[in-house]
Amino acid sequence: MIDALPLFVGGMPGGMELAVILLIAVLLFGANKIPKLARSTGEAMGEFQKGREEVEQELEEMREGPSSSSETPEDESAEAESESSTET
C-alpha cells in the first residue's frame, strides 16, 4: 500500500511544489491575468501593512499618554479655529 505524504513536508514548499502551484495558477487564471492578480495582491498587502502601522502608532501614542502628545497647544487652537469656521 502506498502511504500519502503531505504536500509540504517540513514547512516551506520546495522547487517542484512551487512549479505545480504555478502551473495550477496559470491553468485557473490564464497567463494574461496573473500579473494583474499579483499587482492587486501586492497593493492589498501594502494597504494592510499601512493600516497595521497606523494602529501600532496609535497604540503607542495611547501608551505614552496625553502628556507627551506631539501636538503643541498652538496646533490644537489652530485646529479648533478651523473646525469652528467650517461649521458655519
pLDDT digits (tens, 9 = 90+) for 40-75: 999 999 999 999 999 999 999 999 876 654 555 555
The model's pTM is 0.44
Whose cell is 479655529? That residue is 81
Q: Which residue has the higher pLDDT, 83 or 10?
A: 10
Q: What is the dihedral of CA 2, 7, 15, 46, to 10 degrees?
A: 170
C-alpha to C-alpha distance for 6 and 18, rounded to whole angstroms: 14
* Numbers of helices and strands, H then E, in the chain: 3, 0
